[in-house]
Structure 1
Amino acid sequence: MSTGKNAPATEKSKESMYHALIYATVLEMQAMMTFQHDDIVHAGNTMKSAQEVCQRFRRKSGGLGSRGANDDLSEEQLHAEVCYAECLLHRAALTFLQDENMVSFIKGGIKVRNSYLIYKELNAFVQSDTAFKGPNHKHLEGGVSFGIGAFNLTLSLFPARLLKLLEFAGFSGDKEFGISQLYTGATSHTLRSMLCALLLLCFYTFLSFILGTGEGEVEEAERLLKPFRLRYPRGAIFLFFAGRAEEIKGNIDEAVALFEDGCKAQQAWKQFHHMCYWELMWCFTFKKHWKMAYFYADLLSQESRWSKAMYVYMKAAYLSMLPDTESRPFGDNEVDLFRQVPTYKQKIAGKSPPTEKFAIRKARRYKASNPIRLPVPVLVRITAFVSSHSTIIPPMQFI
């Protein structure tokens, strides 16, 4: 949408709340993949403009919360409410990424709370018998399902003590309810069906395993993927998630083919390729093809800004798996690479990612002139990577 041939869509984003929201959402997704400060700022400004467009269509006297008993909102005003709430949620996410200071966290927190309150009021409204149902009511319901589902699922993943505090503050963190809302939204063929599906697929194939809460989610992911893959057989994002499902099941060759197809399916967003490269790196790790795994780690270290410390650590780890007599690609040396790892430390939302902390801690062994080498650095990392699910290649096969 940001290309010249889509200029009409960009122009409509100044007048249409849905064009504005979708355009800003695309820029947000791009910013999260590039992780470039300028892209994040641009996406944040565009989302703010989208919020202002939505505001023009809202009830002038304060929106849904101030609706009188006999003073119903029009369908347009209801859609403005749900679009406005979604803009707030996206802006909060971009605020957390853009700045690391306490003021930004407070501002982001206020946006999250305001968004949640609007979604909560909208959910009660669409569930009521008196709800106005215009010709586009299903898209309104889809928007509410996305918001309520996203909040409940995300908050349910927080530690129990923090979740109790959030519930005391009026938030809800019911995982099953959140999943049911997102599934309803994903299968309803509305404007936000794909967003609901993508959030569920992220949970089923990534978050549930990272957090150690997932058993059986792969089957749910495949069930959810089936209609989308039939509708979009060359859809890059759905090829990616299909590959991820095969990888989790241990079908590594099938996963490699799907990830490679995902890279071939589109060339507009190079950053999407980086997601595939990361998974391909692990697939070749499971196959013990160290040079191929190194190749993808090297590509990531050159092209991606997400976690260069981890990419360089993995390059060094793969070189460590090669025999001493075997030549190293590009003349790299594992000891030199390990020593470089701490120089690439970064912070996201004010904190260093756990994966980078892991890499930096292990790389410290190589600081001395006579380094204390890690015995099997790939095994150390792969154990952490697969420990939450037993169907991937058992780590002991690497010894």
Structure 2
Amino acid sequence: MKPSGGIHLAYSTPNLNQNDAKVEHKEAARSLSDDDFHDAPEYWAHRKDINLLECIAEARIAMNLFLNNHFEEAEARLKPLSDKTMYHALGYSTLLFLQAMMTCDRADMEKAMVQSQKAVDVIHRFRAQYSISDSIFRLSGHYKALTDEEIHAELCYAEALLFRAALTFFYDESLASFIKGAFKIRACFMSYRECYRILNSQAWTSRDQKMRDEFESGVLLGLGSFNVALSVLPGKLLKLLQVIGFNGNRAHGMNNLLKVASMTHTLRSTMCSLQLITWELFVNFFIGEGKPNTRLCTRLFHDLNFLYPNGAIILFLRARFYLTSGDVDNAIFFYNKSIQCQTYYRQFHHVCYWELQFAYAMLGRWDWAANHCKRLKDESRWSRCVYTYLLAIYINAYDRGPESEATWRLLCRKIPNIRLRIAGKSIPIEKFCERKSKRFLAENRMYLAHYEFLYFWNVFTILEARPQAFIPEILSNIEQYKVENPTEDPNDLSVYEFLRGVCYRALGELEKAESCFFKVIQNEPRLTDNFYLVPNSTFELSQIRFAQNNLTEAEGLLNKVKQYKGYSLENKLLFRVHAAMENVNKRKG
């Protein structure tokens, strides 16, 4: 349905019947609205004898407040002692870091940068006075001489360095800043490795088991995160990083994270659960794995839904879970519920709007998808270039009249002037949007641009969860589009054949899919734009061979993809190639 009179911002929660199963938690949850919770900051600020376990408990309460949308109370809980205890300093820095990441506001980033440095300084005061990485000290087995505060200070120091490094990348986009951030990450990783030595030393004799559990969960969370993150990098880059001390074993890293998530009595367990869910529902699709571990997510959501039933972050992740399962109506319901449950971090609404525009695109509701993109373009600072591009292609998707054409042409002309640069480099997806918009203006048409973008943002991978519910209609729309918009341009014909091939592969009609991809590859000498379609078609052919258990040819095609250079979104495809090659090697045994 096309809205009249232009684009309207219409945001209402769909009228859906929700029959959420009631869950029982194995531990009684204390209400986060108790008076003593809100009075506590003043109480702690006047105490001089607050011990380490009490500080950890305070940080955990603040985290629970934050995840239940009590954002101001969470900050008030930590700020008074953020210059006195390591966990208050780290916790307050973490909250400001999250705020900066959600808002992308320069002032918020500067505030988070200042606090992250303060946290590093505060935590450093609690570290052992000598260098804890001194090899003579380590080999002498004197970890036993460290106090609980000194041991935990090394862990908190590693975590604070990681936040500091991440903010360095975003706040200062120069090459020098990028290098500084890289060194901070290496220092962070080395500190985590030192913590691991402490964890496995004799230092824990006669110490409080709770103290060890909190330390163990933090160490395993850090090292597990590094292992999992590094494991997705292409082999050559990973080998280079291993030379300077980094490791990337995904299975080992996942085992560490799963153990931390099971340590529900510790501070970092909840954050680890959120990290695992984020990996399954977001990163898996970005690196080309797809098919998230739904059983793991369901198990992790069991406790999170009970503890934070109306938490904006939890509701958002539940929505994403439904989206990746192909249940788009429930996804839309929970995205809107996440928006409605809090107004303090309005920028977090933008994350929901971003997801909602894809949800409506999956349903073919291009008008509603455009509505959300317009709101993002007007309100969000993340990437006005991408928002503008999406708004243009969605307008063209649902209305091809002269007024809409004038609108999308105006939008496309703006795109080159609103691109961002990070660490002195252009963002690949923004470069893609600029190149495509220039082609649209030159050719005076968009050819299936809306479906093309959905492919490159892995939406077709999500649709494969329920292919019969979505793909036949999409395929019909693509074929009808060609009938209504005949062309002999090999660039446009290649887009058409490529998208048909993607649809046929999702439906399991592999011979038809193969024919489409071969047509794209055969068009290569005639292409003047859209060169990226050839390596992507080669990759899709490799996945057909993998499905047919022809591993030798699948591997050969993946190696062929690696030989293509200089095309749009190259690194994005190489992540998928790396994941696909791992799958081939696993099946080979």
Bin the TM-score by the shorter chain: over 0.9
Match of 1:338 in 2: 412
**Is residue 197 of structure 2 the alignment partner of residue 121 of structure 1?**
no
* Inter-partner Cα distance in structure 1 for 2:343 and 2:83: 28
Which residue in the other structure is 2:259 paired with?
Answer: 184
The equivalent residue for 1:275 is 351
Alpha carbon RMSD of aligned pairs, Å?
2.2
The aligned residue for residue 183 of structure 2 is 110
Partner of residue 240, structure 2: 165
Partner of 1:249: 325
1:391 corresponds, among 460, 465, 484, to: 465
* Contact map agreement 1:301 1:308 (CA 8 A) in 2: yes
Question: Which amino acid counterpart does residue 111 of structure 1 have in structure 2?
Answer: K
CA 1:326/1:101 → structure 2, altered by over 3 Å: closer, same or farther? closer
Residue type of the alignment partner of 2:115:
T
Hey, what does 2:446 align to over in structure 1?
374
CA contact (8 A) 1:145 1:182 kept: yes
Q: Find 1:226's aligned residue among 290, 302, 306.
A: 302
SS across alignment from 1:268:
coil
Distance 1:261 1:398, change over 3 A: farther
Supply the AA of the counterpart residue of 1:355. I
Write the letter of the residue equivalent to 2:95: V
CA shift, 1:8, in A, is 5.8
Deviates more, 1:265-274 or 1:62-71: 62-71
Which 10-residue stretch deviates more, 133-142 or 265-274?
133-142
Q: Counterparts of 1:241 and 1:193 in 2: how far apart (Å)?
A: 17
1:315 to 1:303, Cα distance in 2 relative to 1, 3 A: same
CA distance in 2, matches of 1:14, 1:83: 14
In structure 2, relative to structure 1, the CA distance for the partners of 1:397 and 1:266 (3 Å cut) is farther
Q: For the residues of structure 2 that align with 1:381 and 1:264, how far apart are their CA atoms?
A: 29
Provide closer, same or farther for how the CA distance between residues 138 and 318 of structure 1 changes in structure 2, counting only shifts above 3 A.
Answer: same
Q: Deviations over 1:64-109 (max 9, x none)?
A: 6545524521111111110001011111111111223232122212
- TM-score, L = length of structure 1: 0.92
Separation (CA, whole Å) in 2 of partners of 1:249 and 1:327: 37
After TM superposition, the structure 1 = structure 2 runs for residues 63-74 of structure 1, keeping only pairs within 5 Å, are: 63=132, 65=134, 66-67=137-138, 68-70=140-142, 71-74=144-147
Partners of 2:440 and 2:450 lie apart in 1 by 15
Secondary structure at 1:301 match in 2: helix
Question: Residue 15 of structure 1 corresponds to which residue in structure 2?
Answer: 84
2:423 counterpart of 1:354: no
Is the CA contact (8 Å cut-off) linking 1:98 and 1:349 kept in structure 2? no
Pick aligned residue for 1:301 from 353, 373, 377: 377
Q: Give 1:16 shift.
A: 1.2
**Is residue 311 from structure 1 mapped to residue 311 from structure 2 by the alignment?**
no
- Counterpart CA distance in 1 for 2:335 and 2:122 is 38
Question: Equivalents in 2 of 1:332, 1:304: separation in Å?
Answer: 24
With over 3 angstroms needed to count, the CA separation of the structure-2 counterparts of 1:177 and 1:20, relative to structure 1, is same
The 1-side partners of 2:234 and 2:382 are apart by: 25
Contact preservation (8 Å) 2:204, 2:212: no
2:491 corresponding residue in structure 1: none
In structure 1, distance between residues paired with 2:430 and 2:96: 27
Deviation at 1:19, TM superposition (A): 0.8
Mapped contact 2:175–2:424 kept (Cα < 8 A): no
Cα separation, 1, equivalents of 2:423 and 2:253? 25
Deviation at 1:332, TM superposition (A): 7.5
Shift in Å, 1:326: 9.2
Residues 245-289 of structure 1: CA deviation (Å, up to 9, x unaligned): 111111100100011111112111111111110111111111111
CA contact (8 A) 2:103 2:348 kept: no
* Residue 132 (structure 2) pairs with residue 53 (structure 1): no
Deviations 1:34-54 (A, max 9, x none): 112222222111011001110
Matched, 1:264 2:340: yes
Q: Distance in 2 between matches of 1:383 and 1:72?
A: 57
TM-aligned CA deviation for residue 226 of structure 1: 2.0
What is the identity, as a one-letter code, of the residue corresponding to 1:272?
F
Q: Which residue of 1 aligns with 2:291?
A: 215
Do 1:101 and 1:350's aligned partners in 2 also have CA atoms closer than 8 Å? yes
Q: Report the residue type matching 1:374 in the other structure.
A: M
CA deviations 1:375-396 (Å, max 9, x no partner) are 2221111122224442264352
Structure scoring higher RCO (CA < 8 A, sep ≥ 6) equals 2
Q: Is the 8 A contact 2:331 2:359 kept in 1?
A: yes
Distance 1:398 1:244, change over 3 A: farther
1:158 aligned counterpart, secondary structure: coil
Task: Mark the runs of 5 or more structure 1 residues left unpaired by the alignment.
Answer: none
1:73-112 alignment runs, 5 A limit: 73-112=146-185
Contact 1:308 1:344 in 2 (8 A): yes
Task: For residue 324 of structure 1, report the CA deviation from its aligned partner.
Answer: 3.7
State the secondary structure of the residue aligned to 2:421: coil
> 1:42, 1:396 → 2: CA distance?
49
Take 2:74 and 2:288, find their aligned partners in 1: how far apart are those partners?
A: 45
Q: Cα 1:382–1:359, aligned 2, differ >3 Å: closer, same or farther? A: same
Which SS does the other structure have where 1:374 is aligned? coil
The CA distance in 2 between the partners of 1:295 and 1:127, in whole Å, is 55
Match for residue 230 of structure 2? 155
Q: Give identity over the alignment, percent.
A: 35
Check the 8 A contact 1:294/1:314 in 2, yes or no.
yes
CA distance in 2, matches of 1:266, 1:183: 30
| CA–CA separation in structure 1 for the residues paired with 2:293 and 2:271 | 18
From the CA coordinates, give the structure whose radius of gyration is larger: 2
Contact 1:152 1:174 in 2 (8 A): yes
Specify the SS of the correspondent of 1:136: helix
8 A Cα contact 1:211 1:388, kept in partner: no
Distance between the aligned counterparts of 1:264 and 1:350, measured in 2? 37
**Cα distance, 1:337 vs. partner?**
1.0
Q: Quick one: distance in 2 between partners of 1:273 and 1:372?
A: 34
Q: Which amino acid aligns with 1:254?
A: N
